[in-house]
Amino acid sequence: MIRYTLTCDRNHGFESWFKSAEAFDTLLAAGHVTCGVCGSAKVTKDLMAPAVRPARKAAERPLSAPGTDIEKALAQMRREVEENSEYVGLNFASEARRIHSGEAPDRSIYGEARIEEAKKLLEDGVPVAPLPFMPARKTN
């Protein structure tokens, strides 16, 4: 996997992960790499520094405050979800189904599900949505 810092023709900056440099080139040429803010497919790679794994102690320190408006909005969304929902981990699909059927108390939950599980929940009318961040335990 490779992460690229990208900019659209309207100067919106964002990052995205790709399977390989070749995969990025193929997706870009097909018009499948678009800006998440404005939808523009006129995207270029920015100059990037290589990622260097920090020392263990440095990795344990809290992340610095986000910089862009999008990063700030995502950080706020994450705080809201974590403060107002219960993390159910890998049991998300079964717990969402139990809540929907009335077998479990009605409450806000978040967790992890395979794409097949999430699709099946939606097909069955269970209201779920993907979150634009990984649970804290998955980010290290």
**50, part of any domain:** no
Note the pLDDT of residue 52.
Answer: 67
Q: How many beta carbons lie within 10 A of that of residue 78, not counting itself?
A: 18
Q: Count of domains in the chain? A: 2
Domain shared by 37 and 75, yes or no: no
Residues 13-38, mean pLDDT to the nearest whole number? 89
33 or 47, higher pLDDT: 33
Does residue 50 surpass a pLDDT of 70? no
pLDDT category, 96, cuts 50, 70, 90? very high
Collapsing DSSP to helix, strand or coil, 48 comes out as coil
Q: What's the pTM value of the predicted model, to 2 decimals? A: 0.50
Q: How much is the mean pLDDT over the chain?
A: 84
Of 125, 91, 124, 134, nearest in space to 109 by CA:
91
- Which residue range(s) make up the domain with 71? 63-128
Q: How confident is the model at residue 134 (pLDDT cuts 50, 70, 90)?
A: confident
Measured distance CA(66)–CA(75) in Å, rounded: 7
Give the separation between CA 4 and CA 66, rounded to whole angstroms: 18
Q: Are residues 76 and 119 in the same domain?
A: yes
- In-domain check, residue 109: yes
DSSP assignment letter at 89? E
pLDDT over 90 percentage in the chain? 43
CB 109 within 8 A of CB 99: yes
Q: Do the strands 109-111 and 43-45 form a parallel or antiparallel pair, or are they unpaired?
A: unpaired
